[in-house]
A and B are shown apart, each in its own frame.
Chain A
């Protein structure tokens, strides 16, 4: 569906991609993991054409990404950037209405069909009750869901999410991940997301991509990618992997315990 072929990019010293090869198949949930500065967000932005590659090509549904029209692309691919502007003084519904922009010509107004899609997006994200609430009055999780509602009102086939759970507490993280799962299973949306929480990524994804210094070093199902060797190589930490019902989880080993404990006290949910 979306293939990244030998893409290199030089955004800055820290954020670069080196000869990245990646194939996203229809109907998948793919999570990209890796330490800060490994190029996860850069890769996601490149796939959404927010950055253009120096070398290589990205092909969406058999057509070079550069050849897609701006609105046409937005009808097929939606992305939620890392930290969208949170101070916006508008209602949930108004935000979601923007999601119909790609389907509208210049000066064309929303019609019945658009309203139906907006209602659907609000329904799926469980925001119908709050459609007239202002964004600043929402909790972090509700606001994140509102932005996701806007993205799915575009009716995209593929949805890219850049750290959708960062800055959220555990309940809201779960809410967002369940929503992603539901969008994928019930509505067939292909999802590619960058996640910091590796356990969470493993739990909700069909495939994990591990990145390090701008290259993909691991690519496969969570059960394969989540191994001691990967954590050693990519994150430089020694871990223990345990399985719960075929679901891999990792724990940092005692050697790094002292450090990890202090980290856990402040940010208990980051991987």
Chain B
């Protein structure tokens, strides 16, 4: 072909993973839509696409409209945003802690939220309506406590945060167990929450999540640059003119915020924050400019898909989605680990 050589010479500088990254972005975006559509037509009552359209658009009180607007759509919205928040939060945590095992739980958000949930449902059932807010406050406060306690000599080393987190998680977990043992007759009420459910999601919750979750997710885009710089190591980041401690604080806040929002609605869904960022990293390489947004898409789609399975496979019984995720996700992750033979970005 004529002109072939000139094309070669002017070849723009492309990252070796460029095509892979673009392809992953396209596939995940499509996946989000397909999964949403799949989820809206699937269930104990199967709907066709025209029925869904009719239910969405036509006013009035048909049963289809009720199923679409009051049952399935809220679940999809809640699942999508919760999945996104957890995956992004995990991406940030793994970056800040420079540890492949870091997930939002490590800074105490999950255990703090769970303790509040236990206290509310078991000790103060009158106030059950404030459960989401209480769980959020509990999670966030615990994260801040962990951060404050790991402060030493003008900074907080990631290793120290993890150790302090382990200690605080132990204390909080013990308190929770104590309450559950003392009031073992009322434990039943809190169990679904502990397993992670988005089953009872209402349009109210979906709206609330849209109001808090979307801004938090947008805010998380500002975490990309600090996370990338921190990965070079504290000293190098400082030498490049970056304020390491300030951005670590910001990153922990945003991560706690995202997890707090997710956990307050859905309870403890553990798997996504830990594994989704890993899988995405294995595919697109370690660059948070891609890993963070793509993890969000993958986390959202994955949670909605899992939730759809959880409510349709075992009909009429509904499995908590958190349980199903761990059941299926664990072996899946093992498979990837063995196939790839490493911990992806964190091998060294």
For the complex, give the distance between the alpha carbons of A91 and B188 in Å. Answer: 52
Which of A48, A91, A107 touches B239 (beta carbons < 8 Å)?
A: A48
Identify the closest chain B residue to A79 (Cβ). B239
Q: How many residues of A contact B (CB 8 A)?
A: 31
Could you pull out 24 A-B pairs where Cβ atoms are within 8 angstroms?
A48-B239, A50-B235, A50-B239, A70-B238, A70-B241, A70-B243, A71-B241, A74-B240, A74-B241, A79-B239, A81-B233, A81-B235, A85-B232, A85-B348, A87-B347, A88-B231, A89-B345, A91-B16, A98-B232, A101-B229, A132-B14, A132-B15, A132-B16, A134-B16
**Chain B residues whose CB sits within 8 angstroms of the CB of A107 once the complex forms:** 222, 225
Who on chain A is nearest to B233 by CB?
A: A85
Query: Smallest CB–CB gap between A195 and chain B, Å?
Result: 19
Contact status of A99 and B16, CB under 8 A, knowing A84-B233, A87-B346, A88-B286: no
A91 to B232, alpha carbons, bound, how many Å? 13
Contact of A101 (CB < 8 Å), options: B16, B235, B241: B241
A117 interface residue per 8 A CB criterion: no
Tell me whether A21 is interfacial, beta carbon within 8 Å. no
Contact with B along A94-123 (1 / 0, CB 8 A): 100011011000010000000000000000
Cβ distance A10 to chain B, nearest Cβ, rounded Å? 12
Whether A101 pairs with B242 at a CB distance below 8 angstroms is yes
Contact size range, B: 20 to 34
Give the shortest distance, in Å, between B173 (CB) and chain A (any CB): 32
* Residue A90 lies at the interface, judged by CB distance under 8 Å to chain B: yes
Q: When each residue 265-290 of chain B gets 1 if its CB lies under 8 Å from chain A and 0 otherwise, what string results?
A: 00000000000000000000111000
B241 touches A88 (CB 8 A): no
Q: A91-B16, A132-B15 are in contact. Are A81 and B236 (CB under 8 A)?
A: yes
- Chain B residue numbers with a CB within 8 Å of A101 are 229, 240-242
> Closest CB of chain A to B248's CB: distance in Å?
15
Chain B interfacial positions (CB closer than 8 Å to A): 13-16, 222, 225, 228-229, 231-233, 235-236, 238-243, 285-287, 344-348
A80 CB to nearest B CB, Å: 8
B228 to chain A, nearest CB (A): 8
Q: Which B residue sits closest to A82, measured CB to CB?
A: B235
Complex contacts, A183 vs chain B, CB 8 Å: none
Per the bound structure, the CA–CA distance linking A49 and B154 in Å amounts to 14
Q: How far is the CA of A101 from the CA of B222 in the complex (A)?
A: 15
Shortest distance from the beta carbon of A89 to any chain B beta carbon, whole Å: 4
Cβ B232 vs Cβ A132 within 8 A? no
**Beta-carbon nearest neighbor of B236 in chain A:** A84
5 more contacts with CB within 8 A, not counting A48-B239, A70-B242, A88-B232, are A74-B239, A81-B235, A98-B232, A101-B242, A131-B13
- Identify the 5 closest CB pairs spanning chains A and B, nearest first: A87-B348, A74-B241, A71-B241, A102-B241, A89-B286
Question: Which residues of chain B have C-beta atoms less than 8 A from A88's C-beta?
Answer: 231-232, 286
Contact A99 B240 (CB under 8 A): yes
**Is A86 part of the contact surface with B, judged by Cβ < 8 Å?**
yes
Within A37-94, the residues touching B (CB, 8 Å) are 48-50, 70-75, 78-79, 81, 84-91, 93-94
Residue in B222, B236, B241 whose CB lies within 8 Å of A73: B241
A98 to B240, CA, bound (A): 8
B289 to chain A, nearest CB (A): 10
Contact B13 A93 (CB under 8 A): yes
- Shortest Cβ distance from A238 into chain B, in angstroms? 37
Q: How far is the CA of A98 from the CA of B238 in the complex (A)?
A: 12
Q: Closest B residue to A99 by CB, please name it.
A: B240
Most A C-beta atoms less than 10 A away, residue of B14, B239, B348: B239
In the complex, which residues of chain B have a beta carbon less than 8 angstroms from the beta carbon of A49? 238
